Amino acid sequence: MRTEFGKVAVLMGGNSAEREISLLSGQAVLAALLRQNVAAIGIDAAHDVVTQLASIDRVFIALHGRGGEDGTIQGLLEFMGIPYTGSQVLGSALAMDKYRTKQLWQSINLPTPPSQLINANSHLPTVATQFGFPLIVKPVLEGSSFGISIVTNLGELATAYTAAAQFDSNVMLERYINGPEYTAAILADTVLPIIRLATPREFYDFTAKYQDSQTTYNCPCGLTTKQEQAFQQLAMQAFLAVGASGWGRVDFMCDANSEPWLLEVNTVPGLTDHSLVPMAAKAAAINFDQLILRILSTA
């Protein structure tokens, strides 16, 4: 049995909309740790977390969404003095808030599509005129593309707002970028090979991510070496700007002029053996078990 990590808890599940995906990630992480002879147990964060953490030396956070990726569990672990993987409280909380992340990026001149918060009292025709169509409507504090819609006309806007508001009272509009979508995985101080995502669906939504066999993941991503290096540098800037650390993922799109537009930072991306970060790690000759150990070592 390996001793350098002590007794490790893999936190998974929880109560967010991404609970089922988190359970898949957590079970994959736990299996990898056990294969590597790490003294690891799984803990469902939906039940009595504090008591179960009492004898734990280190935590691998495999929680997605609110309650696990927004700084709350990180704050608890800080209070308890238990080392954990991924970003700390500030980086987690800020990255979870897509709108404030974008405000920060804009303040340091990093490219991100213009956006605006809306609520039930917003005069949607006026807002839509400012942005033009198509545009994106999304919850501010949600992941896995829950509640996201592409809106092509004013008649769809109220419906899209209602769909987003079911997940979060904070809803935002964002200018639509028509072009390929990319993701850059970050491991410690390294940006792994970029992946280009392609789907026959309207956009890379929940179905495209988790259910559609026609979704493709291209790595090499088709960019020139110079472009990929420039976008990797941009991804690291975006990641560090929000206070993220350890590991994570930065998503962006390119427009018709091949200019990049940052979308969001994921501080606890999916970790099944077919998720994006493991794909990028594989392209860098890092297998799944090695990836999990390297993430754990950053705790």
Residues 50-64 pLDDT 10s:
999 999 999 999 999
Other Cβ atoms within 10 Å of 257 Cβ, number: 6
Q: Which of 44-58, 106-120, 134-148 has the lowest mean pLDDT?
A: 134-148
User: Do 125 and 187 lie in a common domain?
Assistant: no
**Residue located via tokens 């359970």:** 23
- For residues 181 and 196, is the Cβ–Cβ distance under 8 A? yes
Residue 131 resides in a domain: yes
Banded model confidence at residue 117, pLDDT cuts 50, 70, 90: very high
| Beta carbons within 8 Å of 109's beta carbon, 6+ residues apart | none
Other Cβ atoms within 10 Å of 116 Cβ, number: 15
Q: Which of 10-14, 45-49, 83-87, 277-281 has the lowest mean pLDDT?
A: 45-49
251 is catalytic: yes
Residue 90 resides in a domain: no
User: Do 22 and 34 lie in a common domain?
Assistant: yes
User: Do 100 and 72 lie in a common domain?
Assistant: no
Residue 231 resides in a domain: yes
249 is catalytic: yes
210 is catalytic: yes
144 is catalytic: yes
User: Do 169 and 181 lie in a common domain?
Assistant: no
Banded model confidence at residue 144, pLDDT cuts 50, 70, 90: low
Domain stops at, among 125, 144, 175 = 175
Q: Is the pLDDT of residue 21 over 50?
A: yes
The catalytic position among 87, 182, 251, 275 is 251
User: Do 164 and 70 lie in a common domain?
Assistant: no
Residue 155 resides in a domain: yes
The catalytic position among 67, 161, 270, 275 is 270
Taking the model in full, what pTM does it have?
0.91
The catalytic position among 15, 122, 210, 218 is 210
- For residues 125 and 151, is the Cβ–Cβ distance under 8 A? no
Domain stops at, among 175, 207, 223 = 175
201 is catalytic: no
- For residues 64 and 25, is the Cβ–Cβ distance under 8 A? yes
* Separation between Cα atoms, residue 164 and residue 229, nearest integer Å: 35
User: What is the average pLDDT across 9-15?
Assistant: 95
User: Do 200 and 290 lie in a common domain?
Assistant: yes
Query: Which CATH number belongs to the domain containing residue 256 in this structure?
Result: 3.30.470.20
User: Do 286 and 213 lie in a common domain?
Assistant: yes
pLDDT at 201: 55
Query: Which CATH number belongs to the domain containing residue 56 in this structure?
Result: 3.40.50.20
Query: Which CATH number belongs to the domain containing residue 149 in this structure?
Result: 3.30.1490.20
- For residues 2 and 38, is the Cβ–Cβ distance under 8 A? yes
User: Do 211 and 102 lie in a common domain?
Assistant: yes
The catalytic position among 16, 92, 170, 266 is 266
The catalytic position among 144, 149, 170, 275 is 144
Domain stops at, among 155, 175, 195 = 175
270 is catalytic: yes
* Separation between Cα atoms, residue 10 and residue 43, nearest integer Å: 6
* Residue 275, phi then psi, degrees to nearest 5: -80, 170
User: What is the average pLDDT across 255-270?
Assistant: 96
264 is catalytic: yes
Q: Give tens-digit pLDDT for 161-216.
A: 999 988 877 899 999 999 999 999 999 999 999 999 987 555 555 554 555 566 78
User: Do 101 and 215 lie in a common domain?
Assistant: yes
Residue 135 resides in a domain: yes
User: Do 264 and 214 lie in a common domain?
Assistant: yes
Q: Give tens-digit pLDDT for 38-51.
A: 999 999 999 889 99
Beta-sheet strands, E only, within 50-192? 58-61, 115-118, 135-139, 149-151, 171-175, 181-187, 190-191
User: Do 105 and 225 lie in a common domain?
Assistant: yes
Q: Residue 65's domain spans which residues?
A: 8-85
175 is catalytic: no
Q: Give tens-digit pLDDT for 91-112.
A: 999 999 999 999 999 999 999 9
Looking at per-residue pLDDT, the higher value among 124 and 244 belongs to 244
Residue 222 resides in a domain: yes
| Count of domains forming the chain | 3
The catalytic position among 19, 58, 66, 249 is 249
Residue 276 resides in a domain: yes
Q: Is the pLDDT of residue 66 over 90?
A: no
Residue 2 resides in a domain: no
The catalytic position among 13, 14, 16, 18 is 18
The catalytic position among 69, 86, 264, 275 is 264
User: Do 104 and 218 lie in a common domain?
Assistant: yes
Q: Give the residue among 84, 66, 44, 69 at the shortest CA–CA distance from 249.
A: 69
